[in-house]
Amino acid sequence: MIKVNAPYITEDEINAVIKVLRSGQLAHGPIVEEFERKFSNYLGVPYTIAVSNGTVALYLALKALGIGNDEEVIVPDFTFIATASMVVAAGAKPVLTDINPRTYTIDPNDVRKRISSRTRAIIVVHLYGHPAKMDELADIAKDNNLYLIEDCAQAHGTEFRGIKVGVFGDVSAFSFYATKNLTMGEGGAVVTKNREIAEKVKLLRNHGQVSRYYHEVVGWNFRLTSIQAAIGIQQLRKLDKMNSIRRKIAKIYLGGLQDVDDIILPVEMPWAKHVYHQFTIWVKEANYRNKLMEYLKSKGIQTSIHYPRPLHLQPALSKFSLGSSEYPNSLEASRHVLSLPMHPGLTESDVHYVIESIKNFFKK
Ligand SMILES: Cc1ncc(COP(=O)(O)O)c(C=O)c1O
């Protein structure tokens, strides 16, 4: 079976984990701080606070900004649920917003429409590894005195006009889940240029503890382990290489599938560097999407749908829906998208086999 995604783990990660296990320091320790320093250097941002996963990274970002009290946060309707559910967890209200159907990222024009006197922040998601339109979104945030939060869970190394995402917002959240471009199995990070926000996140990550068993505020245990950080350090060393393999695979897909009229291929806008966390195609005839998925499965090719349900149709968030007619692009995307195998372990012949199989499906 050709997997839709898979972690890229070598002896480097295995040896690093063994070293930590032998060290006796398994929980938070100097290796976590080493990862934080190196990740900050990679992005070009002063503060990285490593946490347990991307979900709590979003939660802590909102908490550190003091967002709650039924205030409103603008979020895309087409993303993984954590982007919006953490707004609810923080005590605020997610205002679901439509996407641009070409980049699958939040539509700045729709953002403008959703701003009210209660709006405090905009969360942008660099979905699939393609950046959102950061200049326009940053202007909107500035003009309306809103915080800008970046959900970079799928965008390690993604660039907007030559600058890595994660540095545009007041605060950003990364995930290092098993399938991400940089993985630790589970893991996350909050990234910020702002020292005060960094201090708050650090405090909240570890029970509000300022010195041993002295707790200034109520917090949580959202720490990362040294085992995870050791994997992360090794992954970070080869992140650019892994991303360039993803981009090479994307190039083969784009070349091989360009004449297939039944699908729309992912775009890389002129201002973007896409890191292809997912290589997601749009099947023009919605009825064929699931059939293509089944056909590829019968050929030993795993695919996935990111995402089969927009957030406004999720039972958990339905009370925040303004009705499907408010999110036409998000709704359509959920019916048409299909993610093809994309990870650095794929061989060129795997990719050509996927291309040929898709062509065969549409020939029939
Ligand atoms: C866009 C987006 N936001 C947030 C998350 C949450 O990250 P995690 O799974 O590490 O909690 C994910 C990952 O699954 C994601 O894809």
pLDDT at 102: 96
- For the chain, residues with pLDDT lower than 50 are none
Expressed in angstroms, the distance from the first to the final Cα of the chain is: 23
| 87 within 8 A of 343, measured Cβ to Cβ | no
Give the pLDDT confidence score for residue 35 in this predicted structure. Answer: 98
Q: What is the pLDDT at residue 117?
A: 98
Q: What confidence score (pLDDT) does residue 94 get? A: 98
CB of residue 55 inside a 6 A radius of ligand 1:
yes
Task: Classify 274 as helix, strand or coil.
Answer: coil
Instruction: Tell how far the Cα of 79 is from the centroid of ligand 1, in angstroms.
Output: 9
Would the CB of 155 count as within 6 Å of ligand 1? no
pLDDT at 232: 98
Q: Which residues of 14-41 are buried (b: 16+ CB within 10 A; e: fewer)?
A: eebbeebeeeeeeebeebbeebbebbbe
CA of 254 to the centre of ligand 1 (A): 26
The alpha carbons of the chain give a radius of gyration, in whole angstroms, of 20
Is any atom of ligand 1 closer than 6 Å to the C-beta of 228? no
Nearest-CA residue for atom 12 of ligand 1:
153
> Does ligand 1 have an atom closer than 6 angstroms to the CB of 77?
no
- What confidence score (pLDDT) does residue 95 get? 98
Distances in whole angstroms, Cα of residue 122 to Cα of each of 164, 192, 296: 19, 15, 38
Whether 146 contacts 140, CB under 8 Å: yes
- Set out the domains of the chain in order of their start, with CATH numbers: 11-237 (3.40.640.10), 239-363 (3.90.1150.10)
Residue 22: the pLDDT is 98
Q: Which residues pair with 149 in a beta bridge?
A: 123, 171
Kindly report whether the global pTM for this prediction surpasses the value 0.95. yes
Task: Kindly state if the Cβ of 278 falls inside 6 Å of ligand 1.
Answer: no
Instruction: Phi first, then psi: give them for residue 28, nearest 5 degrees.
Output: -60, 135
Q: Is the CB of 80 under 6 A from ligand 1?
A: yes
Q: With helix as H, strand as E and coil as C, how does 309-322 read?
A: CCHHHCHHHHHHCC
Residue 134: the pLDDT is 98
Separation CA 189–CA 129 (nearest Å) = 17
For 211-263, write each residue's pLDDT tens digit. Answer: 999 999 999 999 999 999 999 999 999 999 999 999 999 999 999 999 999 99
Within 10 Å of residue 175's Cβ, how many Cβ atoms? 30
